[in-house]
Structure 1
Amino acid sequence: MSENKKCCAKTVFDPPQAIYEDYYHPQHVEVVQQIEVIRRHHCVPVYHHVTTCTVKDVFCGDSWSGEQGNEVRTSNVRKKRK
């Protein structure tokens, strides 16, 4: 093939493409976390059992007649003072 002098060679440039190189550097960022201590007080029932004691004499049987069979007799016990 022979060169045609009427068609000259041409150079065409595409638009430039950007190529990024990323470099990362540490940055000190202070984060303050506030803490609030809440003291909660609760009442909790603690049971202390107190007992009382009574003594009574009840007489049952055939030897008692009428209302006397239901009669309750109690005895008083006294401590001697020293």
Structure 2
Amino acid sequence: MHPKDCHPHGEFCCPPARAIVDPPEYVYRDFFHPQIVPVIHPVEIINRHHCVPVPHHIFTFTCKDVCVSSEKKHRRARA
């Protein structure tokens, strides 16, 4: 063994030990990627028809011919 491998104060030197290998530790790195998922929203349009009474004024006309005398009528005196 080389003297440099010992402690600096000249103490007893141990030979190099075999390496101990621990079981691996796992470090997870999660990556997220967009995945398009179709979401269907059915919509039913219902047309509702309602009858609403609305007044519709109708006028009827009749024509009459009346004969009028051009003579003045005499008034009777009251009794």
Higher RCO, 1 vs 2 (CA within 8 Å, ≥6 residues apart): 1
Structure with larger Rg:
2
Q: TM-score, normalised by structure 2?
A: 0.41
Q: TM-score, normalised by structure 1?
A: 0.40
Looking at secondary structure, tell me which structure has more strand per residue. 1
